[in-house]
Amino acid sequence: MVKFTVEEQRKITDRKHNIRNMSVIAHVDHGKSTLTDSLVAAAGIIAQETAGDVRMTDTRADEAERGITIKSTGISLYYEMTDASLKSFTGARDGNEYLINLIDSPGHVDFSSEVTAALRITDGALVVVDCIEGVCVQTETVLRQSLGERIRPVLTVNKMDRCFLELKVDGEEAYQNFQRVIENANVIMATHEDPLLGDVQVYPEKGTVAFSAGLHGWAFTLTNFAKMYASKFGVSESKMMERLWGENFFDSATRKWTTKNWLPDLQAWKDKLWPMLEKLGIQMKPDEKELMGKPLMKRVMQAWLPASTALLEMMIFHLPSPYTAQRYRVENLYEGPLDDKYAAAIRNCDPDGPLMLYVSKMIPASDKGRFFAFGRVFSGTVSTGMKVRIMGPNYVPGEKKDLYVKSVQRTVIWMGKKQETVEDVPCGNTVAMVGLDQFITKNASDLPKLVEGLKRLAKSDPMVLCTMEESGEHIVAGAGELHIEICVKDLQDFMGGADIIVSDPVVSLRETVFERSCRTVMSKSPNKHNRLYMEARPMEDGLAEAIDEGRIGPSDDPKIRSKILAEEFGWDKDLAKKIWAFGPDTTGPNMVVDMCKGVQYLNEIKDSVVAGFQWASKEGPLAEENMRGVCYEVCDVVLHADAIHRGCGQMISTARRAIYASQLTAKPRLLEPVYMVEIQAPEGALGGIYSVLNQKRGHVFEEMQRPGTPLYNIKAYLPVVESFGFSGQLRAATSGQAFPQCVFDHWDMMSSDPLETGSQAATLVADIRKRKGLKLQMTPLSDYEDKL
C-alpha cells in the first residue's frame, strides 16, 4: 500500500525547500489525530476508506482505549504536488515532491509537556479548532506557546460534519459561527506581534484557514472553491478568493456579486447532490450509491474534497520550509553568540555545517529499556556511527557538567507505527536516533528495578518528577490525575511487570500564617548564651505570587526591589532594604527581614539565621510542608560576646526554633492547591455538573453560553485534593457529556485551625505526618519557645 519507498523519502530530505516540519495542536477532542489520519492516508500508509478511524498516531494501547492522544508521535509523509496546483506558489521550491514531517500532539492539559517538546522541532503548526466548541483553554495555551517559539500557525475549523449533520444550522448561522471561531483565534495571535515572524493572523481569504471534517476525511480551503469557480466563470483565482469569504455572494445567473456568502450554496448542493456530483465530474462506483446518510456524505465528500489535498496544500503554501524558518528562529534555537559559525549554519540550514541537533524527547523503544532520541537536525547532517556531544538539560555554558560524548548507532525516520532506518539525515528534518541512551543493566531484586523504572520514566517524560519522601517512599509527581495514571502504568511496564504498591495520590500543601504573631517569641541557643526574638506575619496580598512569578527575587537590584515593595505592597523603604533572604531554596515565597536596631555582631549571625530559615521554610512545624507567604522579622538578638559561642552551631538551630515558635503564635494555617476547572457541556448536563462540583467543595464562578451553540462554558474552582476521580464522576453524572480540563490556579487558605484537635486541618496534618513517618503529635510551642 505504501506509495513511496524509503529511498524516495530519503532523497527529498536533502531538498530543504521542499520540507515542512509541522505539528498539529488543539484542545482535547477537537480531532487532531483523526485529521492526521487523513494526511497519513494521502501518503498511502493506510487505506483511504479507514482514514479517520485508525488513529495512526495513537500507537499505544492505552491511547486507543481511551480515545485520546497521550504521547506526541512523529510521522514523515511524502507528497507529490501537481504542477497545476503549484503554479501559484511563489516561494522557492525544488521539484514537486514534498516531505512533511508531522507531529501529532496530545490535547489534554495534563500532557502539555508533550506539546512543548513537539513545538521546538517544528516550524509550523496546524491549529485544529472544533467548529462548535470554538477556541478553548488548551487551544489558547498551545497557540501562545507556539507563537513564543516563532511557529507560524494555520487554522483548520474541524468537525464541519457536526455542524451540518447534528446541529443542522443554516448557512448564515454556520458562517457566523466560523467567523467567530476564526476571530477568536486571531485575537490570540494578534497579541503576539513579532516583527521577525510577520503577521501571523489567519484569513480564510488568504487560504490560511481550512474547513475540515476529520472523521469524514474531507476538507477544503477557499482556494479549492476559488479555483473551481475561477475556471468555471473565468474570474481570476485571487480575486475569487477575496470575494468568497465575507458578505459576498456570486450569483451564477447574473454573474454579479451580492452580499450573501457561499455557504447556502454549499447547502443547496447537498440537496441536489446527485445532479451536482455529475456536474462536478466525480465518478462514483455503483455500489457506493447504495450508501445512505452519514456514510454517503463521507464517501462523497472524501472523493470530492479529500482532506489531505486541502490541508497539505495549505501547509505547503503557507507554512515555512526549514530554510525559511531557521532564518528567523535562530534566536530561539541557539543560546550562544548569534554571529558565530554555529548560528550561521543554523540560519542558513547548511547541510555541510557543524551538526546541530535538538533532541526534544526520548521515546521508549519496543525492546525494553532502550530509547529513541527524537529530535530535529538544525544544521549539518547526522549519520550512523557519528560521534556527538550531548549537552544535558543541566548543562551550563562554560562548565563541564552534564556533557557527554556518545555515538549515534542508527538514524531512523519515524513513520507512525513503524520506523525506517536510513544512512543519514540532513538538516531541516526530524530524526530518531538509537544509541544516545545508556543501556541499563538489569538487576534481580525489586528495589533496583523500581529505581530503574523511575529513571526511565523520568527520561521518557520531561514533566514527571521522581523524588523521594523523607520516609523513604518514592514519589512520582505529574501534571494531573490522568498524567499520573499513565505514568504509573508506564512504570509498571518499565519494571517488567513487577508489583508496585501505589498509594493514594498525595497533594502537597503549604504552611502559612493568618495574622501577626500574638507576641514576640524568644528562643535561646543550646548553650543558653544567645537569644533570638522573632515575629511572623503574613505577606501582603499578591506578594507571594509576585515572588513566584520572579518579579521580586533574590537576584534583583535592591533598589528596584525596594521600589516595588514600597509602591505596590506598602513596605517601608528602609525595611525593604533589610531583607535577609528568600526561602526555601533561596527563591521561595517567604522572607526573613531584619528589624533590629543597633545590635552588635548581627552580621556575624546573618548566615546562620538564613541557614536556619532555609531549613525551617522547607519543613514547616505543622506537617513539614513548605511554607508560603510568611514574612519573619528578627526583632532583637542578644549575643554572647565571644564569637565561638555564637557560631553557626549555636545559631542555626536557634533560628529554626524561633521561626517555628513565631509561626505557631501567628495562627498557622494550611494552604491547599486549587484547580481552575473548565467544563463544556450542553444545557441538560448542567444539573449533574453542579451537583458533582458541590460534593467536591468546588464552586462555579462563571457560566456562559457559547454564542450560537447550545453548549455552556463553566468555569469553577476545585480543590486539588478533591479532584481525584472528578472527571469519572462528572462523566457518570452527565452521561459522558461533560469533560473537564483542570489547571492549577492558586493556593487557597483552609479556614480550620490545625492546632485545634479534631478540626479538618488537624486531621489532614495528622495524615501527612503519618505518611511522612513523623511523630503523630505536633511538637508543642513550648519546645520551640524559651522563657527568659
| Cα separation, 365 vs 148, whole angstroms | 31
Single-letter residue type at 343 = A
Which residue lies nearer to another protein by CB, 362 or 415?
A: 362
Which residue, among 315, 288, 317, 286, has the nearest Cα to 301 in the 3D structure?
288
Count other Cβ atoms within 10 Å, centred on residue 552: 24
Query: Which residue blocks in 431-507 are alpha helix, DSSP H?
Result: 446-460, 481-494
SS3 596: coil
Cell numbers 516550524: residue: 123
Q: Least distance from C-beta 208 to another protein, angstroms?
A: 38
| Cα separation, 159 vs 161, whole angstroms | 5
Q: Least distance from C-beta 768 to another protein, angstroms?
A: 15
Which residue lies nearer to another protein by CB, 41 or 652?
A: 652
Cell numbers of 664, please?
Answer: 505557631
Q: Least distance from C-beta 643 to another protein, angstroms?
A: 8
Which residue lies nearer to another protein by CB, 467 or 695?
A: 467
Longest CA–CA span in the chain (Å) reads 104
Which residue, among 267, 265, 242, 238, has the nearest Cα to 253 in the 3D structure?
265
Q: Output b/e per residue, 304-342; b: 16+ Cβ within 10 A.
A: bbbbbbbbbbbbbbbbbbbbbbbebbbeebbeeeeeeeb
Which residue, among 305, 125, 149, 105, has the nearest Cα to 224 in the 3D structure?
305
The secondary element (H helix, E strand) that includes residue 63 is helix 61-66
Which residue lies nearer to another protein by CB, 191 or 555?
A: 555
Q: Least distance from C-beta 405 to another protein, angstroms?
A: 5
Distances (CA, A) of 428 to 17, 339, 614: 9, 20, 47
Which residue lies nearer to another protein by CB, 278 or 335?
A: 335
Which residue lies nearer to another protein by CB, 664 or 730?
A: 664
| Cα separation, 178 vs 157, whole angstroms | 7
Could you tell me if 466 and 455 are in contact, meaning their C-beta atoms sit under 8 angstroms apart?
Answer: yes
Q: Least distance from C-beta 548 to another protein, angstroms?
A: 17
Q: Least distance from C-beta 31 to another protein, angstroms?
A: 34
SS3 433: strand
Q: Least distance from C-beta 458 to another protein, angstroms?
A: 6
Cell numbers of 421, please?
Answer: 532506518
Q: Least distance from C-beta 564 to another protein, angstroms?
A: 15
Show Cβ contacts of residue 108 under 8 Å, excluding neighbours closer than 6 positions. 28, 68, 69, 70, 138, 482, 741
Q: Least distance from C-beta 468 to another protein, angstroms?
A: 4
Q: Least distance from C-beta 105 to another protein, angstroms?
A: 22
Which residue lies nearer to another protein by CB, 203 or 569?
A: 569
Using CA of residue 424, residue 427, residue 428, residue 431, what is the dihedral sign?
Answer: positive
Single-letter residue type at 709 = T
Q: Least distance from C-beta 614 to another protein, angstroms?
A: 8
Which residue lies nearer to another protein by CB, 645 or 706?
A: 645
Which residue lies nearer to another protein by CB, 645 or 715?
A: 645
Which residue lies nearer to another protein by CB, 131 or 651?
A: 651
Count other Cβ atoms within 10 Å, centred on residue 410: 15
Q: Least distance from C-beta 421 to another protein, angstroms?
A: 24
- Would you give the DSSP letter of residue 505? P
| Residues in the chain, total | 788
Could you tell me if 523 and 658 are in contact, meaning their C-beta atoms sit under 8 angstroms apart?
Answer: yes
Which residue lies nearer to another protein by CB, 207 or 380?
A: 380
Which residue lies nearer to another protein by CB, 246 or 647?
A: 647
